[in-house]
Structure 1
Amino acid sequence: MSWIGRTTSLNSLKVFEAAARHLSFTAAARELRSTQSAVSQQIRGLEEQLGLVLFDRIYRGVRLTDAGQTLFASVQDGFTTIDRTIDRLRQRDRHPHVNILTDFSFAAFWLMPRLPLFRQRHPDIDVQIVTNQGILDWQTHDVDVAVLFCDEGTLAGDVPLLFREEVLPLCSPGFLQQHGAITDVQSLSQAPLLTLTAEQGQRWLDWPRYFGLLGYTGVPQNAELTFNNYTLLIQAAIAGQGVAIGWRGLVEDMLENGILVGLPELSVQTARGYGLIDARPGMGAAAKRAFMEWMLESV
């Protein structure tokens, strides 16, 4: 905290702001329900504290000096920010809300299609979704709930599991018509593969680890198309450009609708999965509890 911050009272700045806005100590006193002499004394005290002349005293009034104009602009900005913050806090207090942190994939393929059901049940709760594709640390975000892909250690604690990581190859119906059926890991390895990178340290399955879990030691024959966004990868699979790894919990709707075709005989499950994390365990807001209960019901 600066020397000015320790010695300058908020009331002095309030008096200064009113006097600068009106360019009149008398009008400022009237607004503040004070007296002209009290306002003049407050301003003089502020000038002495700052070592600056804020007003030129002229005949029948005052005018701001250059220093006074600079301080006036800053004080007005500060008071405006405070007022907006108070309004926002009051608005949040009047309207229950829940802030959710998750990744792009979960938000796009699971949460957004189902969120209208939560809104129908709780129309008074405002929902804000924060997304990212990297490793997400909910402790560094202003959120109430985090829905994240978790490792075994995290899920072994108090984090409820929404669904475990189960992956299976998937592609469009048109792709199978063009390239023929994929019946085993050998024929899969010869198909064009669509890959989601894990450049930011994500721990989901990629093709090498997937083939390793199936005991396949060969090398895929066709060059892969690589994406750093799962939404784009799925769009490529829908367009018939290759075979993608599909996380069953995320692509179930597209499999049921026939947009994509899965190969369940080649599915693999791990101990990882999506967990439901209470990002603020010490704060038991009703909106947060309602959302977490709805999530657990929905899966």
Structure 2
Amino acid sequence: MSWIARAASPNSLRVFEAAARHLSFTAAARELRSTQSAVSQQVRSLEEQLGLPLFERIYRGVRLTEAGQALFVSVQEGFATIDRTIDRLQHKHRHPHVNILTDFSFAAYWLMPRLPHFRERHPNIDVRIVTNQGVLDWRAQEVDVAILFCDERTLASGVPRLFPELVLPVCSPGFLEQAGPIDSPQRLVELPLLTLTADQGQSWLDWPRYFEQLAGIDYQEASELTFNNYTLLIQAAIAGQGIGMGWRGLVDDLLDGGMLVGLHELMLRSTQGYGLIDARPDSPGEAKRALQEWVLECAAQAEV
């Protein structure tokens, strides 16, 4: 930046912009609540600083020189950019927002049913949810908070655990009535099991590890009734198409509402679970803090 640009004050540029837009010093003075002589003096001072004539004085008015026209375009663009930035900053201040990264399952079965309570408590905070079903890397996305299924090592690093991985087979009441008592792993393995694929390296329990940890059974997954989306799997279970693996914390409302029945005697607990990750620890903010506190509060109330 040259010394000339530094010498051109924002006020003189604002006066120049008004005079150039109206092509009248008198009209510019009226808009700026100044006088024609003050506007003329500001313009003359700017011309002297730049060493260029910006206006040609003509009968009953002025017109821009070639240099004046070029400066006018640039000044208008600059002021427009400043105005847009101010509007954006003011809007952000009026409506702070928080971006949440999570998976489809958590968003659908835990977050969305509870989110109205957060909005009631914090009506001025805009919540933006980013979802995916695969392995989610919060470091690669523009998010403030990540609520993700975490392995034991991640949870041990200081990430608050919302609830542990506590799984149990779930099915529709009609399916259970037709199948009869399901009170052992050996009986369970005989029935159609709905499978959630983990082809992207997800660490949650699957049926083979479930049966191995629960009863030492070497279970080989069947090829039918396989889903890559947990919400679709749950819908299939509700429709009576088989038995799905239900994660406590996610399917609790469906169990309480009677849409699903849980086989509680076949429940299994692991050292994993959903964790609350501060994706931008160096960027504190009231909106993020409010959301984190609310999530932890809800998780504590529904602790399993």
Which range, TM-score by smaller chain? 0.7 to 0.9
Q: Structure 1 residues 253, 41: closer, same or farther in 2, change over 3 A?
A: same
Q: Are 2:38 and 1:39 aligned?
A: no
- Partner Cα separation in structure 1 for residue 70 and residue 22 of structure 2: 17
Note if contact 1:189-1:220 (Cα within 8 Å) is conserved in structure 2.
no
Provide the residue aligned with 1:85 in structure 2: 88
The yes-or-no answer on 1:275 pairing with 2:275 is: yes
Are 2:293 and 1:296 aligned? no
User: What does 1:11-90 align with in structure 2 at a 5 Å threshold?
Assistant: 11=10, 14-15=14-15, 17-32=17-32, 33=34, 34-39=38-43, 41-42=45-46, 60-62=61-63, 71=74, 74-75=77-78, 77-90=80-93
Moved more, 134-143 or 110-119: 134-143
TM-score (normalised: structure 2): 0.73
- Report the residue type matching 1:42 in the other structure: L
Does the CA-based 8 Å contact 2:17-2:72 persist in structure 1?
no
Report Cα offsets for 1:5-59 as digits up to 9, x if no partner: x9587827645543454344553455455522423553786796xxxx9878765
State the match for 1:217 in structure 2.
218
Counterparts of 1:104 and 1:10, CA distance in 2: 53
RMSD of equivalent CA atoms: 3.9
Match of 1:126 in 2: 125
Equivalent residues in 2 for 1:187-198 (5 A)?
187-198=187-198
**TM-score using structure 1 length:** 0.74
Identify the residue that residue 168 of structure 2 maps to in structure 1: 168
Match for residue 302 of structure 2? none
Match in the other structure for 2:237: 237
8 Å contact kept, 1:152–1:272: yes
Structure 1 or 2, whichever has the larger Rg, is 2
Contact 2:170–2:243, Cα closer than 8 Å, also in 1: yes
- 2:269 is paired with a residue whose SS is strand
- From the superposition, tell whether residues 61 and 111 of structure 1 become closer, same or farther in structure 2 (CA, over 3 Å): same
Distance 1:298 1:30, change over 3 A: same
Q: Which residue of 1 aligns with 2:104?
A: 104
| Structure 1 counterpart SS, 2:176 | helix
Change (3 A) 1:200 1:14: farther
Cα offset, 1:260, TM superposition:
0.6
